[in-house]
Amino acid sequence: MTLDIDQQWHHLAEAELLERLETSQKKGLDSFEAALRHEQFGFNRITQKKGTGPLKLFLLQFHQPLIYILLAAAIITSFLREWVDAGVIYGVVLVNAVIGFIQEAKAVKAIESLSQVMTNSATVMRDGERRQVSAEELVPGDIVLLQSGDKVPADLRLLTVRELQIDESALTGESVPAHKSSSILPADTQLADRTNMVYASTLVTYGVATGVVTATGDRSEIGRINELIASADILATPLTKKLATFSTLLLYIILGLAAITFAVGILRGEGWLDMFMAAVALAVGAIPEGLPAAVTITLAIGVNKMAQRNAIIRKLPAVETLGSTTVICSDKTGTLTQNQMTVQQIYAGGELFYLSGGGYEPVGAFTSNDNVITPQKHPALHECLMAGLMCNDANLLHIDNKWQIEGDPTEAALVVAAQKAGLQRSELLQHLPRLDAIPFESQYQYMATLHGDEERTVVYLKGALESLVPRCSLMLAADGDMHPLDPDDIHRQAEHMAEKGVRVLAFARLEPAGFTEELGHGSVGSGLTFLGLQGMIDPPREEAIRAIKVCLDAGIKIKMITGDHAVTAAAIARQIGLYGEQRADDEQLALTGGELAELSDDELIEATERTQVFARVAPEQKLRLVEALQARGHIVAMTGDGVNDAPALRQADIGVAMGISGTEVAKEAADMLLTDDNFSSIEAAVEEGRGVYDNLVKFIIWTLPTNLGEGLVILAAVFAGMRLPITPVQILWINMTTAVLLGLMLAFEPKEPGLMNRPPLDPRKPLLTGELILRIVLVGLLLLAGSFGLFDWQLRQGSNLAEARTCAVNIFVFGEIFYLFNCRSLRYSMFRIGLFSNRWVLAGVGLMVLLQLLFTYLPAMNSAFGSCPIGLTEWVVIIGASTIVYCVIECEKWIRRRRETLVRNS
């Protein structure tokens, strides 16, 4: 058998379909043919791609310039027989490698989760008999029988359908179960609208059906998603990109300066061993040993802060990426909205009523013309609500102080609306018990229930406007009397309601002439009384509205990508303020999946910039949208909860999965999970991410002047033909102790005010701007002048070499302490942000001072590091020089603020 996997099965007539698949609806495949096809098409399961082995994955963690520098530092310290320092550096490298390995190993589990979702059984026709087989044994052409509760085992084209409803939310993003039929559809019908197809991994929520297998395993829709996940790139974060570039540049600079140091010394006639040690000292001094540990710990602290705000980080770099985010692509249902259908408008008796309240809590008021009304005083409204309550199979339950539903969300919304008016179905059923019902069927598009006793019987109906209005001849007026029906007026009102994105249902009533206990389609074909329309929508979350405003003010663009209809999505977008101040038509503000399919890559890139809403979007289109935004240089955060979202989640700079409603596939592909499925938690995470990025930059700005100063001191000594002011072991002492006790304290720095009032970081902007580089050079030169000057002055005063070196070391340490207070804010003074707002800094400074006193005065430390006690005069000079560093940088910050103010006011 030859099978075209791109065949448009939804477009074929039943006879042609079965002929092409060479099967029979009544008998199915025979066992021999099934075995042949099994050989041809293989098992009905997802093929797991062979990934990078654990050993290689672990070794790749060392393939980074910064790690090369650290390994070089460790090798050098080992050469110097400083085993403790070497062990610390090796430990830092190993911890970073282990963390990276664990994070990447978790990421590849997404495809394994896809394989798991397809392991179930199926009921098929084989050799003319009904059989239960493993879903893995299904082949194209198998006839499969579905019933409520089944997981669809493969992609099927439906042949016979009875009231079938499928939960396709994991695949299409559609929040309401899809009603299925066996009707032939146009060839260009989008995936989400193919009502005669069902797909592997979706769930049967209601009804029964028979279908023929059209695709299995990797050829199924979920198999295609697997291919998209495997092909999606895992992008480096903005910080890791910048650090990689910076580290590579730093590596070349260090090697170059070390070579120059060695060469100059040799040319001056110095011994090669002394010059080699000088080059080693320069290299060790210039290497920021504490940087990888600081990055890891700062990100880990950010993870903890985000967890407190309902955002769980799976991959550490995602913390910083959030702070650089320029675009957030969000799903609609449950993230921006409450995922609780709510009746908001009712048209009855020629009047339009509005309902307040949201979700499933039956509390709210009815208003008309801005006046609160009592529903019982409006007969048409009361009867319309009663019809929605009686012609209904959903239940509203109050469990553990929470309102929950059983049944269809649309029907639940009708129950809540009726209970807001004081109606209780249990009480009504005592007087009007249900006698019979016609369940909803897609071919009729309505539901009807028969109620009453021998004294009175009544039929209530609800359904599509197109189905009920032609059956009505009268309408219930506002005063409770019967008036002739004006269908045009009803349609105009329905269109007006639909323009606001609400889902409109019509309600009608029939009072049979005599008592009957049976109800059929023929008995409700005509003579109905129109009762009204109810318009419902999944209302937006209030906190999401506030969060979107904060994001827009912060310069972050929000894109809604949903499986819902364009009109509904655009209406929600307006309500949550997604369009900002725009007043364009919906056609310019929303693009559908069908329209996206017609755009070239270049056209799509342009469209993503000017469009806020994308509706009825297929899985590969979500991936295209993310790639298009990234092509414009955006840092993209993508939210999702379904299997269909996984490829885009993996491709995005940061994938955000829903912790409550999300599938395992989505969670495994994501970098972050929202424990409350709420958009406001993304905004909170972005805010925390910006704070983390700020603190990382503060650490880098703080640590690099020390490395620069140490390197310059060694260079100056070599060029001047002097002894080294600081030895390699002393340099390691400075770098390791200050990085841990001083630099890492910046990771606890609280967020600065106005953090979300500034635009996102430009991903093309280098890690260090010109102004920051100037500050690093300025502080490095000040440390050079202080340490080299004091070292030279001490020698001229007759001090021994150990005293002079101890003074030089203390200049570096106390200069870093005073400069640390500068770095608590890159713009403001520590008094502006609060001297005691970060008590960790004060604790770190206290410990560092204590350690430095031990370094200077404890005999054991003197022996280990070549230091010795110094006098009060030297301490006065050290503190004075360090104070100058602080004052100079504060003046530089003041001048910069002043210049910015003048530019802003000019």
> What tens digit of pLDDT does each residue of 259-279 get?
888 888 787 777 776 777 677
- The H or E element containing residue 861 is helix 859-865
The predicted model gives 483-495 an average pLDDT of 92
- Given a cut of 60, is residue 75 above it in pLDDT? yes
Residue 70: per-residue pLDDT = 67
- Given a cut of 50, is residue 349 above it in pLDDT? yes
> For residue range 550-590, what is the model confidence (pLDDT) as tens digits?
899 888 999 998 877 788 888 888 888 888 665 444 445 78
- The per-residue b/e assignment along 273-294, b for 16 or more CB within 10 angstroms, e otherwise, is eebbbbbbbbbbbbbbbbbbbb
Neighbours of 191 (CB within 10 A): 21
Tokens linked to 198 = 């069902």
| Gap between the Cα atoms of 410 and 399, Å rounded | 20
Q: Which residues are catalytic?
A: 331
Task: Kindly calculate the radius of gyration of the chain based on its CA atoms and give it in whole angstroms.
Answer: 36
Residue 586: per-residue pLDDT = 41
| Gap between the Cα atoms of 534 and 531, Å rounded | 10
| Gap between the Cα atoms of 192 and 182, Å rounded | 15
Lowest mean pLDDT among 722-736, 781-795, 881-895: 722-736
- The H or E element containing residue 133 is strand 129-134
> For residue range 238-267, what is the model confidence (pLDDT) as tens digits?
666 677 777 777 778 777 877 888 888 787
The percent of residues in the chain predicted with pLDDT above 90, rounded, is 33
> What count of Cα atoms within 13 Å lies in the side-chain half-sphere of residue 810?
31
Residue 108: per-residue pLDDT = 45
- Residue 486 pLDDT class (50, 70, 90 cuts): very high
- Residue 518 pLDDT class (50, 70, 90 cuts): confident
- Given a cut of 60, is residue 395 above it in pLDDT? yes
Instruction: Report whether 771 contacts 249 (CB < 8 A).
Output: no
Residue 568: per-residue pLDDT = 81
- The H or E element containing residue 204 is strand 203-215
Question: Which of residues 201 and 31 earns the better pLDDT score?
Answer: 31
Question: Which of residues 766 and 162 earns the better pLDDT score?
Answer: 162
- Given a cut of 80, is residue 492 above it in pLDDT? yes
Residue 886: per-residue pLDDT = 95
The predicted model gives 64-82 an average pLDDT of 69
- Given a cut of 70, is residue 174 above it in pLDDT? no
| Gap between the Cα atoms of 524 and 444, Å rounded | 11
Q: What is the mean pLDDT of the chain?
A: 84
- Given a cut of 70, is residue 109 above it in pLDDT? no
Residue 15 burial class via C-beta count within 10 angstroms: exposed 0-12, middle 13-18, buried 19 and up: exposed
- Residue 679 pLDDT class (50, 70, 90 cuts): confident
Instruction: Report whether 137 contacts 35 (CB < 8 A).
Output: no
- Residue 172 pLDDT class (50, 70, 90 cuts): low
| Gap between the Cα atoms of 71 and 62, Å rounded | 9
Question: Which of residues 762 and 471 earns the better pLDDT score?
Answer: 471
> For residue range 699-714, what is the model confidence (pLDDT) as tens digits?
889 988 988 888 888 8
Tokens linked to 306 = 């985000």
Lowest mean pLDDT among 96-100, 132-136, 591-595, 873-877: 96-100
Question: Number of H helices and number of E strands within the chain?
Answer: 33, 28
For 50, left (φ over 0), alpha (ψ -120 to 50), or beta?
beta
- Residue 427 pLDDT class (50, 70, 90 cuts): very high
Residue 505: per-residue pLDDT = 94
Residue 4: per-residue pLDDT = 56
Long-range (24+ apart) CB contacts under 8 A made by 599-608 are 601/628, 601/631, 604/628, 605/631, 605/632, 608/559, 608/632
Instruction: Report whether 326 contacts 635 (CB < 8 A).
Output: yes
In order, the DSSP letters of 641-660 are: -SGGGHHHHHHSSEEEEETT
Residue 447: per-residue pLDDT = 93
- The H or E element containing residue 418 is helix 409-420
- The H or E element containing residue 624 is helix 619-631
Residue 462: per-residue pLDDT = 96
Residue 675: per-residue pLDDT = 82
Long-range (24+ apart) CB contacts under 8 A made by 442-447 are 442/161, 442/163, 442/164, 442/179, 442/180, 442/181, 442/195, 443/181, 444/521, 447/391
- Residue 84 pLDDT class (50, 70, 90 cuts): low
- Given a cut of 80, is residue 295 above it in pLDDT? no
Q: Which residue has the tokens 């609400």?
A: 502
For 434, left (φ over 0), alpha (ψ -120 to 50), or beta?
beta
Q: Report which of 767, 760, 762 is spatially closest to residue 633, judged by C-alpha positions.
A: 762
Rounded alpha-carbon distances, angstroms, from residue 677 to 28, 333, 418, 673? 44, 10, 29, 8
CA angle 881, 885, 890 (to 5 degrees): 145
Residue 111: per-residue pLDDT = 36
Q: Report which of 315, 338, 329, 251 is spatially closest to residue 288, judged by C-alpha positions.
A: 251
